[in-house]
Amino acid sequence: MFIGRLRQFWEIFSKNKAAVVGGAIILFYILIALFAPLLAAHDPFEIQLDKKLQQPSFEHWMGTDDKGRDILARILYGSRLSMGIGFAAVSFGAFFGIIMGLAAGYYGGWVDTIISRILDVMLAFPGILLALAIISALGPSLVNVMIAVGIFSVPLFARVVRGSTLETKKLEYIDAIRSLGANDGTIIFKHILPNILSPIIIQGTLRLATAILSAAGLSFLGLGAQPPSPEWGTMLSSGRDFLFSAPYIALFPGLAISVLVLGFNLFGDGLRDALDPRLKS
């Protein structure tokens, strides 16, 4: 049965060529993150002032920055940081969002009212402003960026899960399971949650693009990863002083962010088409 569903998913997903390209982009970034030490010909932290601001060449394919560090090596190692921040932040937001959404959708009443009002307050603030406020309170650091981006992801997951739970709990098989004496925990985590994973996966994939972009933006402002970290947003910030004399310092990290975000968006759209039963023909 699982093989049949997987085959059906692939048939629908593979028809979307843009989604396949997005998946290939994500896989490519994952591979370079895993094998960065093997792919990087130079130490991303090694300072060589005699080689600073060198243009792209056979020795340094993407040139060197103002401290003589190889930009390609820093982008390769930076893929670990940028993708790690994205996955950690989305996992944080998904965990708490799922718990809140399940509780609000299943129990309803005053539980739903309280959780919904909390989510409304969080959604009243633009995500990046909420993240800025959180980091201002916690202090600039890589971990705090993950927490901040994760917190403003919570209401998005909670809303999706709440709506799906409201629909699923009305189905006849849930009433049958309840009549057999199953407790709330069993119903919620064994029967409702597995049946609403599709919208959660779709939301998580699309949210990864936003999380990576937001984390890079915060690092660009000096609130995230701190130098000499090879995080892409930090590299962009360092390169803005050389936009006219050495534009490649900012160009290549910017391209790395743009292509990865594009990949997650394309892949997420394909997942939505393949997993959302309302879009299936």
Tokens linked to 17: 């060529």
More confident residue, 279 or 148: 148
* Average pLDDT score over residue span 216-232: 86
* Average pLDDT score over residue span 235-241: 88
At 94 the pLDDT is 95
Name residue 64's beta-bridge partners. 70
pLDDT at 277 over 60: no
Tell me which DSSP letter residue 196 carries. Answer: G
At 266 the pLDDT is 92
* Average pLDDT score over residue span 101-118: 93
At 272 the pLDDT is 83
At 90 the pLDDT is 94
At 37 the pLDDT is 92
Of all residues in the chain, the percent with pLDDT exceeding 90 is 46
Q: What pTM, to 2 d.p., does this model score?
A: 0.88
At 267 the pLDDT is 92
pLDDT tens-digit series, residues 32-84: 999 999 999 899 998 988 889 899 999 899 999 989 999 999 999 999 999 99
Tokens linked to 231: 């995080």
- E strands present in 21-115: none
At 281 the pLDDT is 44
DSSP string, 59-86: SSTT-B-TTS-BHHHHHHHHHHHHHHHH
HEC sequence for 203-247: HHHHHHHHHHHHHHHHHHCCCCCCCCCCCHHHHHHHHHHHCCCCC
pLDDT tens-digit series, residues 209-222: 999 998 898 888 88
More confident residue, 90 or 223: 90
pLDDT tens-digit series, residues 171-208: 888 888 888 888 988 899 988 998 898 889 989 998 99
pLDDT at 4 over 70: no
At 172 the pLDDT is 86
Query: What are the domain boundaries of the chain?
Result: 79-279
* Average pLDDT score over residue span 254-264: 94
Tokens linked to 272: 């939505």
pLDDT tens-digit series, residues 140-169: 888 888 898 899 899 999 999 999 999 988
If residue 141 lies in a helix (H) or strand (E), which one and from where to where? none
The answer to whether 104 and 162 have CB atoms below 8 angstroms apart is: yes
The answer to whether 219 and 69 have CB atoms below 8 angstroms apart is: no
At 248 the pLDDT is 92
Tell me which DSSP letter residue 190 carries. Answer: I
SS3 (DSSP) at 276: coil
At 2 the pLDDT is 55
Which fold does the domain 79-279 belong to in CATH?
MetI-like fold (1.10.3720)
Among 82, 86, 128, 88, smallest CA distance to 253 is for 82
If residue 116 lies in a helix (H) or strand (E), which one and from where to where? helix 109-123
